[in-house]
């Protein structure tokens, strides 16, 4: 008697697929996870031996655990109840909204991606586009920051390249967590950004529930000692001058700060400048309220053409075209010491009084940043050209004036990023850059500012405008 069972083909295929999934779930996937986790742990152990500020346990905590911790935070729970009452909605609905906000905010830091891919990418792009220079003001004090402190790099915001440039330059010291705008929430970029430890922020959001979730996440990260990078201006400078400081992030860090019990928060002012900001014309266009909004196709076409054209340049021509990118670090400021000197404790102040004190701290940090923004060749030459914008001058005359300006700036204490033995070639290169971009007009060997591009020349000259007062 034949005991065989005949199965339809579709059922056999279904059973085979289920068996394959079972094998993957029980054997192969756990093995891959173990292998990847082992490699990540090896990378973390290796990196922590050379970092001055080690990767914090908070950054290695499972993302879902951090989301739950944020959702069930006491102050977030109070905000959920208040939001539900004000909007006449069930508590569960408000809780779901908070969970969505927490999921959008909390990053998924991956040390392997950060150091094996992110650092490599940032280094390659930065060095491909610019000649990178860094100057440490009082390097001993930077090295003397306590490894247990929460370090916050506070910076001016010149370009979207700032993210890559500073991450690359401090990668030998620590990891950085940035607040990134919603412009970067596109696939697959957002996954990479989360893995690099950055978190997304809805700027200018008036939703109190969202602001509470963001505040508590920043508070959690700061208390855990996560190194963060904050742009005090809150956005890119459009005219080259530093914008008024935004107080939100500083307030989030300090409103529940207890200097006697909590770990110290150390602010490190950072000044950034470029011989050429890649998006300079776009930033200038944003100042024109009558300018028509560019279509997505126009933006993509222009960007791709720009990338393709510059990839074909030789290294020497690329450097001549983009010039220097420079970063300076100022003297660190301890929040604990600042509170002691000022006789204040932010956590004990009312809302209005606290914002006044946070504003004073922000203004001090802003002035520290301005004093270390590097004086670069293009900014210097733009400054010189604008002083005699209506007059035709020879290149020799402009460079002579620039040399005199360099001497005056150095006497004033400005961080001039131009070496004395290379002034001639560097200033000639700056003039060549301005000419090549059409920012200067030339007639029989004489030069003057192009009337149509005075605003763009001012954009670069304004980056060192803080030293105008020293000249008066």
Residue 455's pLDDT is 93
> What's the pLDDT band for 277 if we cut at 50, 70, 90?
very high
Give me the mean pLDDT over the 201-207 stretch. 80
What is the reported pTM?
Answer: 0.84
| Phi, psi angles (nearest 5°) of residue 154 | -105, 125
> What's the pLDDT band for 300 if we cut at 50, 70, 90?
low
**Residue ranges with strand state E in 331-380:** 333-334
Q: Which two tokens stand for residue 26?
A: 């029980």
Average pLDDT score, the chain: 83
Report DSSP letters for 43-111, one per residue.
Answer: HHHHHHTT-SSPPPHHHHS-HHHHHHHHHT-HHHHHHHHHHHHHTT--HHHHHHHHHHHHHHH-----H
The answer to whether residue 134 scores a pLDDT higher than 60 is: yes
Q: Where are the domains of the chain?
A: 21-50, 103-278+328-371, 377-471
Residue 146's pLDDT is 85
CATH architecture for the domain at 103-278+328-371 = 3-Layer(aba) Sandwich (3.40)
> What's the pLDDT band for 344 if we cut at 50, 70, 90?
very high
Give me the mean pLDDT over the 212-234 stretch. 92
In whole angstroms, what is the distance from residue 48 CA to residue 50 CA?
A: 5
Residue 59's pLDDT is 82
Q: Which two tokens stand for residue 66?
A: 């951090």
In whole angstroms, what is the distance from residue 261 CA to residue 217 CA?
A: 20
Give me the mean pLDDT over the 35-53 stretch. 61
* DSSP, res 118: I
Cβ atoms of residues 59 and 197 within 8 Å: yes
Give me the mean pLDDT over the 229-235 stretch. 89
Share of the chain above pLDDT 70, in %: 80
Q: In what order do the strands lie in the sheet with 393-394?
A: 393-394, 446-449, 440-443
Q: Which range has highest mean pLDDT (35-49, 143-157, 290-304, 339-353)?
A: 339-353
Cβ atoms of residues 258 and 313 within 8 Å: no
Residue 50's pLDDT is 61
Top-level class of domain 377-471: mainly alpha
| Phi, psi angles (nearest 5°) of residue 327 | -135, 135
* DSSP, res 40: H
Report DSSP letters for 370-413, one per residue.
Answer: HHHS-B-HHHHHHHHHHHTTTS-EEHHHHHHHHHHHHHHHHHHT
Terminal C-alpha separation, the chain = 111
Give me the mean pLDDT over the 142-157 stretch. 87
Strands 440-443 and 333-334: unpaired
Q: Which of 104, 101, 365 is nearest to 233 (CA)?
A: 365
- Long-range (24+ apart) CB contacts under 8 A made by 230-233 are 230/152, 230/153, 230/154, 230/155, 230/179, 231/154, 231/155, 231/156, 231/157, 231/162, 231/179, 232/154, 232/155, 232/156, 232/362, 232/365, 232/366, 232/369, 233/156, 233/157
Residue 268's pLDDT is 93
Rg (CA), the chain: 27
Contacts of 414 (CB under 8 A, 6+ apart): 375, 464, 467, 470
Residue with tokens 């620039």, as numbered in its chain: 402
In whole angstroms, what is the distance from residue 180 CA to residue 178 CA?
A: 6
Residue 349's pLDDT is 93
Cβ atoms of residues 71 and 102 within 8 Å: yes
Strands 199-201 and 177-181: parallel
Q: Which range has highest mean pLDDT (55-69, 141-155, 187-201, 222-236)?
A: 222-236
Share of the chain above pLDDT 90, in %: 48
How far are the Cα atoms of 218, 397, 441 from residue 450, in angstroms, in the given order? 46, 18, 5
Give me the mean pLDDT over the 363-384 stretch. 94
Q: Which of 399, 401, 331, 373 is nearest to 467 (CA)?
A: 373
> What's the pLDDT band for 269 if we cut at 50, 70, 90?
very high
Residue 61's pLDDT is 84
Task: Determine which of 186-190, 363-367, 398-402 has the lowest per-residue pLDDT on average.
Answer: 186-190
Q: Which range has highest mean pLDDT (201-210, 254-263, 297-306)?
A: 254-263
CB atoms within 10 A of CB 363: 13
> What's the pLDDT band for 57 if we cut at 50, 70, 90?
confident
Task: Determine which of 13-22, 63-72, 103-112, 198-207 has the lowest per-residue pLDDT on average.
Answer: 13-22
405-439: b (≥16 Cβ within 10 Å) or e: bbeebeeeebbbbbeeeebeebbebbbbbbeebeb
């Amino acid at each position: 008697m034949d005991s065989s069972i005949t199965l339809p083909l579709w059922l056999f295929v279904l059973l085979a697929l289920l068996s394959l999934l079972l094998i993957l779930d029980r054997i192969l996937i756990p093995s891959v996870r173990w292998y990847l986790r082992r490699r990540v742990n090896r990378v973390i152990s290796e990196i922590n031996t050379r970092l001055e500020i080690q990767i914090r346990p908070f950054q290695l905590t499972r993302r879902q655990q951090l989301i739950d911790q944020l959702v069930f935070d006491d102050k977030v729970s109070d905000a959920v109840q208040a939001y539900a009452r004000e909007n006449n909605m069930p508590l569960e609905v408000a809780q779901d909204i908070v969970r969505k906000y927490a999921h959008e905010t909390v990053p998924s830091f991956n040390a392997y991606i950060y150091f094996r891919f992110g650092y490599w990418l940032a280094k390659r792009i930065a060095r491909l586009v610019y000649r990178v220079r860094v100057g440490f003001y009082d390097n001993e004090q930077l090295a003397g920051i306590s490894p247990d402190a929460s370090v916050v790099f506070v910076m001016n915001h010149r370009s979207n390249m700032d993210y890559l440039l500073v991450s690359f330059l401090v990668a030998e010291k620590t990891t950085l967590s940035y607040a990134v705008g919603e412009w970067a929430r596109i696939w697959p970029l957002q996954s990479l950004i989360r893995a690099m430890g950055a978190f997304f922020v809805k700027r200018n959001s008036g939703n109190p529930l969202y602001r509470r979730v963001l505040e508590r996440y920043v508070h959690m990260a700061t208390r855990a000692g996560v190194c963060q990078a904050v742009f005090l201006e809150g956005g890119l400078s459009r005219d080259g001058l530093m914008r008024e400081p935004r107080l939100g992030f500083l307030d989030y860090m300090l409103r529940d700060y207890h200097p006697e019990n909590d770990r110290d928060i150390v602010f490190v002012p950072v000044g950034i400048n470029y011989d050429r900001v890649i998006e300079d014309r776009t930033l200038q266009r944003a100042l024109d309220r009558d300018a028509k909004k560019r279509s997505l196709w126009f933006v993509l076409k222009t960007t791709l053409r720009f990338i393709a054209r510059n990839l074909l340049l030789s290294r020497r021509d690329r450097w001549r075209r983009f010039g220097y990118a420079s970063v300076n670090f100022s003297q660190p400021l301890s929040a604990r010491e600042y509170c002691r000197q000022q006789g204040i404790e932010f956590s004990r102040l009312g809302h209005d009084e606290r914002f006044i004190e946070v504003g004073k701290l922000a203004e001090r940090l802003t002035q520290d940043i301005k004093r270390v923004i590097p004086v670069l060749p293009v900014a210097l030459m733009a400054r010189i050209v604008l002083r005699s914008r209506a007059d035709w001058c020879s290149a020799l005359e402009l460079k002579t004036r620039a040399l005199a300006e360099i001497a005056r700036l150095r006497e004033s204490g400005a961080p001039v990023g131009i070496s004395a033995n290379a002034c001639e070639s560097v200033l000639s290169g700056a003039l060549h850059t301005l000419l090549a971009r059409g920012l200067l007009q030339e007639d029989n060997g004489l030069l003057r500012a192009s009337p149509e591009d005075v605003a763009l020349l001012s954009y670069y000259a304004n980056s060192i405008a803080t030293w105008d007062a020293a000249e008066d």
